[in-house]
Structure 1
Amino acid sequence: MLFVSLCLLALSILYLFYKLIDQRVSQSCYILHYELFKPPDDRKISTLFSGKMIKASKSLGIEEYRFLLRAIVNSGIGEETYAPRNFFLDSGTDSRLNDSLLEMDEFFTETLDRLFSKSKVSPQDIDILVVNVSVMSLVPSLTSRIINHYKMREDIKCFNISGMGCSASLISINLVQNMFKTHRNKFAVVLTSESIAPNWYNGNDKSMILTNCLFRCGGASILLTNKRALRNQAMFKLKYLVRTHLGSSDEAYTCCRQQEDDKGHLGFFLGKSLPKTATRALSENLKTIAPKILPLTAVFCFILQKSIQKLAAKFLNITVKRKVVLNFKLGVDHFCLHPGGKAVIDGVKQSLGLTEGDMEPSRMTLHRFGNTSASSLWYVLGYMEAKKRLKKGDRVLMIGFGSGFKCNSCMWEVSRDLDDKNVWGDCIDNFPPKSLTNPYLEKYGWINEDEWIPPPELARALDLES
């Protein structure tokens, strides 16, 4: 009896151990494939075209014209980013519902057609569908529109995410990750984009017209699974994901929001406290994810150095100017950072103590595609892959920011050597260029002068006296 009891106990322990391992494996989250959206070449918007659009606006005076041109020329955005189709038509920025629908249809059909074709996964195999577009809400929803187009299954679980800003794609990934914990052997598709067509700001508030200079058309479709049998085919495995939300702070909540100006023009407001808020959100997020992705020795040395500095300042009156920075390169091989703008990239570089080489993928994405909101991170990832920098076992830290205010980050582990050029195929050999200087800087050089007289043709174009 004792022998039988010991055998049963051993079998029970082995079974529990097996269930624990099986549960952990089944809760894994893999990326099988992803596709990026590249609009046709006739949708490229240059600085010259942007200048014409600004001049065509009846609400802008010469000061606003100067402010916008300065923002465009100094933004780090190149001459080959993309705008919605209606911007090139007679209607211009006065969009209709059909313009928004065309923009979304064009994005999801192109990326999903390629995604299903290359992955050999049928639309009817999809169990979970997540779409995030922050400033557009339709009835029926975008997920319903996609389900109808591809005739997906009736039991598909679908989610529409709005209002989350540029950090929405990692929120979508987190939703799928949580779904995978209770639904085994599933396929999920995440679509991330932004609706630019109806969201051009036609007023003259400088804190709101800045978004017209930064945001461009783009999008990404990502196929994920937790099927153990497909892990060897996967591109990436999700290791950790951390979300930080500062919405309880009034300053953080109001620094980046959609609102109307005093004349009733709807737009997106960017407050002066935005850089400080983003820095705080990043700091709080890194405090949580750093112990998960870095060696304990690196975290311990950082805490020790900070403690010594504080004690020296308090008891010995010794102030050390050199800032102690946690070395994330000890646990990260590649940094996939949101290209929200030149200032955002520079701020993250300084906060993490990174090199210009670490920032190259983000800068090049901003230059080539602009800020495509929540999908921007995937263009950065695509740049790394096109450059053949992602090797099996490499660790990629992805960081995004969004209104609310939020900072979300995650760690991906590369499952196999990657070399697909995706939307970078026709230009990757030309990156990085020798210079990111805007070619129209000389033509528009007067915008940076403290005292200037507008050219007569500009004054006439804006109906101002020269």
Structure 2
Amino acid sequence: MMELIPLSAVLMMLAITLTMGSLAWKATYRHRHSQCYLLDYVCYKPSDDRKMTTDMAVSVLERNKQFGVAELRYLFRLYSRAGVGEQTYIPSCVFAGRENFRNHQDGVDEMDAFFKDAIAGLFAKTGFSPRDVDVLLVNVNVFCPEPCLSSRIVQHYGMREDIAAYNVSGMGCSATLVCLGIAQNVMRARAPRPVLALVVSSEALSPGWYCGKDRSMMLGFALFRCGGAAALLTNNPALCGRAKMKLRHIVRATVAANDDAYSAILQREDADNIAGFSINKTLPKAAVRAFATNLKRLVPRILPARELIRLTTDLIRQKMLRRERVKINVNLKTGVDHFCLHSGGVAVIEAVKKNFGLDEVDVEPSRMTLHRWGNTSASSVWYVLSYMEGKGRLKRGDRVLMVTFGSGFKCNSCMWDVMGDIADKGAWEECIDEYPVESTANVSLDKYGWINDADHDDSSFF
């Protein structure tokens, strides 16, 4: 009996060891399959016959019977300061002269053109087929038809019956990272099963094209343009060698409880019952506030220990001095190599640059994206990322901070790790060598010199 005791103990220890080893292996295996990798993405380039040149913009404005000289002058001045160039794109219905009589089909046609180009291009580029997709996430802010846009994509591409399809609307320009967060959560929930997720981001301008004369609602004409992006993501570690980047963190923040932030961008009707989006001059301030709120949670995850220690020491010192207003200067560059900022407008870009200690080279991709493509809503950050890639700036091991701003007011951010040197020019291929431009001022407006004759200028938003 005494001789059996050591053997029993050995067997028990062996069982415990095997159990713990099995649990550790399962945890490690599950963790590996909980990662989120960006395989590739495609930015939509509309046809050249939809380009919005300055001359085209002027003709669109001049045929609006509601506009007098004051409204024309105001919009021309906004347009000259918006930082938007001659290569951006607008809906086909505007070229057809139907901006005052647009219909539901115009929105459908606008989305179909994007779906059939960018999504098909992504499948061709990656070698995957529509039936390989397990999860589909579509975000379009203002256009929500029935059946929904995600069902329209499933129908057009003949995707599987068991695909998990999501349709996100009303989330503004920050919706891309909302969908990335959903994709990441689905991958974690399904781990260790491999998941292939398709994220589609765009905006339908046709339904929201504003033709009234409320000045706070005219800003969209100078900023928003057609665009879109489609991205493929996976949690399959067997495909990580093909991936461009790996997702590390996603942080979402909203300051909607603040009245000024909530009303910074607001869909409403004007005095003539014409619907549109009111953009308040408090927008840059709301963006900075939302970004600061976001950074409170993001900073501990992305900055190195030495910077966190410096921040903590500075905070304690200011508290000991009993300063009423504590200001912490965060050096984001200690944990970030590239800043992929939403190209929402010149004022937003400048506000973020000034308040968070960024240099011109940090905001260059966002500024050049605004000039080439305009504000393409939720898809804009993919054009910014494509600019960095096209310039050959993304190297293995680099860290990319992607930041989006949206109505509400929201700031969503995520950190990517670059998996290898990447330099695909994508939608920028035909023009990347022309950038950066020395100035984003609209020189084409020189021939419309009468816009500068006004004594009063209230277009200071830009």
* Coarse TM-score class (shorter-chain normalised): over 0.9
**CA-atom RMSD, angstroms?**
1.8
Deviates more, 1:359-368 or 1:50-59: 50-59
Identity %: 47
Counterpart contact for 1:26–1:226, Cα < 8 Å: yes
Q: Which residue of 1 aligns with 2:312?
A: 303
| 2:113 aligned to which of 106, 110, 115 | 106
1:274 matched to 2:283? The reply is yes
| 2:376 aligned to which of 361, 372, 377 | 372
SS at match of 1:82: coil
* Residues 46, 396 of structure 1: alpha-carbon distance in 2 compared, 3 angstrom cutoff: same
Q: Which residue of 2 aligns with 1:228?
A: 237
The alpha carbon displacement at 1:446 in A equals 4.3
Counterpart contact for 1:74–1:438, Cα < 8 Å: yes
Amino acid at match of 1:394: D
Structure 1 residue ranges without an equivalent (≥5) = 453-466
1:240 matched to 2:249? The reply is yes
Q: Which residue of 1 aligns with 2:125?
A: 118
TM-score (norm 2): 0.93
Q: Which residue of 1 aligns with 2:459?
A: none
Counterpart contact for 1:47–1:73, Cα < 8 Å: no
| 1:146 aligned to which of 144, 153, 158 | 153
Amino acid at match of 1:63: A
The alpha carbon displacement at 1:255 in A equals 2.2
SS at match of 1:417: coil
CA distance in 1, matches of 2:454, 2:75: 16
Structure 2 residue ranges without an equivalent (≥5) = 1-7, 457-462
Amino acid at match of 2:355: S
SS at match of 1:413: strand
The alpha carbon displacement at 1:157 in A equals 0.7
Counterpart contact for 1:134–1:164, Cα < 8 Å: yes
CA distance in 1, matches of 2:257, 2:383: 31
CA distance in 2, matches of 1:231, 1:251: 43
TM-score (norm 1): 0.93
Amino acid at match of 1:286: L
Could you give the per-residue CA deviations for residues 345-366 of structure 1, whole angstroms, max 9, x where no partner exists? 1011112201101111001100
* Residues 259, 312 of structure 1: alpha-carbon distance in 2 compared, 3 angstrom cutoff: same
| Superposed counterparts of 1:115-194, under 5 Å | 115-183=122-190, 184-194=193-203
CA distance in 2, matches of 1:177, 1:327: 28
Q: Which residue of 1 aligns with 2:55?
A: 48
Amino acid at match of 2:307: A
CA distance in 2, matches of 1:226, 1:93: 46
Q: Which residue of 2 aligns with 1:22?
A: 29
The alpha carbon displacement at 1:254 in A equals 2.3
* Residues 65, 307 of structure 1: alpha-carbon distance in 2 compared, 3 angstrom cutoff: farther
The alpha carbon displacement at 1:308 in A equals 2.7
Q: Which residue of 2 aligns with 1:397?
A: 401
| Superposed counterparts of 1:327-342, under 5 Å | 327-342=331-346
Counterpart contact for 2:99–2:209, Cα < 8 Å: no
SS at match of 2:381: helix
Residues matched between the structures, number: 448
CA distance in 1, matches of 2:430, 2:210: 32
* Residues 92, 201 of structure 1: alpha-carbon distance in 2 compared, 3 angstrom cutoff: closer
CA distance in 2, matches of 1:313, 1:432: 46
Counterpart contact for 2:392–2:422, Cα < 8 Å: yes
Could you give the per-residue CA deviations for residues 22-54 of structure 1, whole angstroms, max 9, x where no partner exists? 121111111111011001111110122112211
Amino acid at match of 1:100: G
Counterpart contact for 1:167–1:401, Cα < 8 Å: yes
| 1:359 aligned to which of 356, 363, 366 | 363
The alpha carbon displacement at 1:288 in A equals 0.5
Counterpart contact for 1:94–1:198, Cα < 8 Å: no
* Residues 153, 206 of structure 1: alpha-carbon distance in 2 compared, 3 angstrom cutoff: same
Q: Which residue of 2 aligns with 1:208?
A: 217
SS at match of 2:446: coil
1:346 matched to 2:350? The reply is yes
Counterpart contact for 1:339–1:371, Cα < 8 Å: yes
| 1:264 aligned to which of 251, 269, 273 | 273
